[in-house]
Chains A and B, each alone.
Chain A
Amino acid sequence: MTAAVNGLRHQALLYDSPDAFAGAVLPFVEEGLRRQQPVLAVIHADNLMLLRSELGAAAAAIEFIDAAGWYTFPGRTMGRFYRYCEKRAGTTDRIRIVGEPVWTGRDELETVEWNRFESILNVTLGALPVSMLCPYNSQLLPGPVLAAARRTHPELAGGTGSETYAQPASFYAECDETALGDPPADARCLDFDADLALVRRFVARHAPALGLPAGRLDDIVLAVNEVATNAVRHGGGTGRLALWRAGNRVLAQVSDPGRLAAGVFGYQPSASIASGGHGLWITRQMCDLVEIRTGAGGTTVRLHVTVDPAGQDRSRTSQTHTSSTSTPGPTS
Chain B
Amino acid sequence: MRLGDHLCLTYGTDAEQRDVVGAFVAGGLRTGERVLYLADRTGPDDIDAWLAGRGVDGPAARVRGQLQYRAGDDGYLAGDRFTPAAVIDSLAAAVEAAHQEGYPALRVTGELGWAAGATLGAETLEDYESEVDGLFATGDLIAVCQYDRRAHHPVRLAGLIAMHAVQLVAGPVQVGDQVSITATYDPPGFAVAGSLDAAAVPALRDALAAALAGPGDVWVDLSTAAFVDVAALRMLVRAATALPTGRRLRITGARAAVLRVIEFGGWEGAPGLVVTPGEPA
Contact = CB atoms under 8 A, between A and B. Distances in A.
B261 A197 contact: no
A279 interface: yes
A281 B256 CA distance: 18
A278 B198 contact: no
A255 interface: no
A194 interface: yes
A205 interface: no
22 contacts: A83-B266, A194-B198, A194-B199, A196-B197, A197-B178, A197-B197, A200-B197, A200-B227, A218-B257, A222-B227, A222-B230, A225-B229, A229-B198, A233-B198, A273-B237, A279-B230, A282-B261, A282-B264, A282-B265, A285-B264, A286-B260, A331-B259
A240 B270 CA distance: 36
Given A218-B256, A219-B260, A229 B241 contact: no
A232 interface: yes
B198 A222 contact: no
Contacts of A194: 198-199
A270 to B, nearest CB: 9
A331 B195 contact: no
Interface residues of B, number: 25
B18 interface: no
B263 A329 contact: yes
A274 interface: yes
A229 B197 CA distance: 9
B260 A225 contact: no
Nearest to A274: B238
Given A219-B257, A226-B230, 10 more contacts: A79-B266, A86-B266, A87-B269, A200-B195, A222-B257, A225-B227, A278-B230, A278-B265, A279-B231, A281-B265
A196 B198 contact: yes
Contact of B266 (A82, A221, A274): A82
B69 interface: no
A269 B257 CA distance: 19
A281 B266 CA distance: 10
A-B pairs with lowest CB-CB distance, top 3: A218-B257, A285-B264, A282-B264
B114 interface: no
Interface string A165-181: 00000000000000000
Interface residues on A, range: 20 to 34
A196 B178 CA distance: 10
B267 interface: yes
Contacts of A282: 230, 261, 264-265
Interface in A77-115: 79, 82-83, 86-87
Contacts of A79: 264, 266
A306 to B, nearest CB: 17
Contacts of A273: 234, 237-238, 241, 267, 270
A39 B260 CA distance: 26
B203 to A, nearest CB: 14
Q: Which of B195, B230, B256 has the most CB of A within 10 A?
A: B230
Contacts of B238: 273-274
B231 A229 contact: yes
Q: Which of B178, B241, B265, B269 has the most CB of A within 10 A?
A: B265
Interface in B196-241: 197-199, 227, 229-231, 234, 237-238, 241
Contacts of A218: 256-257, 260
Interface string B178-202: 1000000000000000010111000
Contacts of B265: 278, 281-282
A222 B263 contact: no
Contacts of B269: 87
A286 B197 contact: no
Q: Which of A229, A273, A279, A329 has the most CB of B within 10 A?
A: A273
A150 B238 CA distance: 41
Interface string A218-242: 1101100110010011000000000
Contacts of A226: 229-230
Interface string A193-223: 0101100100000000000000000110110
B263 to A, nearest CB: 6
Contacts of A330: 263
Contacts of A286: 260, 264
Interface string A274-300: 100011011001100000000000000
B242 to A, nearest CB: 9
A269 B198 contact: no
A286 B257 CA distance: 10
A273 B199 CA distance: 20
Interface string B25-60: 000000000000000000000000000000000000
